[in-house]
Amino acid sequence: MTTSPSSPPAASAAGSADDRRQRWFALDTTAITERLGVDPRAGLNNDDAAERLRTYGPNEVATEPPPTAWQIAKGQIANPMNVMLLVVAIASFVIGQVSTGTLVGLLVAFNVIMGTNQER
């Protein structure tokens, strides 16, 4: 079950299109180690590890970038409570209650700013 340094099996097996579609979680450990050409007791030697690092890159999970402050603020504004308060503020201006509309509008702005800062 050891690998030969001249032909790393992972270069041909793990990189193929079939292997990318393989349901690795459904295989037992013996099948996986045989398919990848790894001795589970010894692991990879330095040359094989360096070759796989060059071929496949580091073993890292891809992450998506965090949302921007504007995206977070947009989500805060879309919050049902803030939408309702915005409707109250607009209705207050329509019926002539400028002070109430201003106060509610400022409270919504404060809520959006604080919520955005907390989510960052």
pLDDT at residue 82 greater than cutoff 60: yes
Q: pLDDT by residue (tens digit) across 29-52?
A: 888 888 888 888 888 889 988 998
What mean pLDDT comes out for the span 7-16? 45
Q: Return the pLDDT at 21.
A: 74
pLDDT of residue 6: 39
Q: What mean pLDDT comes out for the span 73-88?
A: 95
What sign for the dihedral angle of Cα 88, 92, 97, 103?
positive
CB atoms within 10 A of CB 37: 20
Identity (one letter) of the amino acid at 46?
N
Question: Above 80 in pLDDT, residue 7?
Answer: no
* Structure confidence at residue 14 (pLDDT): 45
Where are the chain's structural domains? 9-56, 69-119
66 or 13, greater pLDDT = 66
| Helices of type H across 1-120 | 9-13, 17-21, 29-36, 46-56, 69-77, 80-94, 98-119
pLDDT at 71: 95
